[in-house]
Amino acid sequence: MPELLRDIASRLRAFVGNRRYATRHMTRLSVAVSLLDERPRAYPAALEGHTRDLSACGLAVVLPAIRIGERYLTGDTHVLRITLRLPAAAVQIHGITARYERLGEDDTDTGYLLGVRIKEMSDKDRALFEEYLRTLKT
């Protein structure tokens, strides 16, 4: 049922308009996503995926699954560690999943789309990230 509601909200957003404030830039970059904790694990430490779009305050990430091992990537208590591979360097982002939806038959990608709100970045990584965003505006 929750996935049906998210799908309806997503489709409604296309008709009514988008409430996002930061400019989104459509771009496809490789990412590795893991949970920010140091528990011993018997499963892969990260999922590989790619971005769909980026903004100064968030990014949309396409991943093949919604969980790593037995732990879900969603929820406001789960902080994600995202390694975003920019053309010049890789940057580390800590973020919270703001929304997610399963990609359907109409989408070109398969898996899950996660909308991630950026929570924290180092000053160096933030500078590299913002410099990359400026190159997308031109």
* d(C-alpha 109, C-alpha 131), whole Å: 28
- pTM, entire model: 0.79
Cα dihedral 59, 62, 68, 71 in deg (nearest 10): 60
* Structural tokens at position 135: 């190159």
Domains of the chain: 22-137 (2.40.10.220)
Gyration radius of the chain's alpha carbons: 15
Q: pLDDT in tens for each of the 138 residues of the chain? A: 566 766 766 665 555 555 556 788 899 999 999 998 766 555 567 899 999 999 999 999 999 999 888 888 988 788 999 999 999 999 999 999 999 999 987 778 889 999 999 999 999 999 999 999 999 875
Task: Provide the H-helix boundaries in the chain.
Answer: 2-16, 123-137
Q: Cα–chain-centroid distance for residue 125?
A: 16
Q: Is the sign of the CA dihedral 17, 21, 27, 31 positive or negative? A: negative
Exposed, middle or buried by CB within 10 Å (0-12, 13-18, 19+), for 84? buried
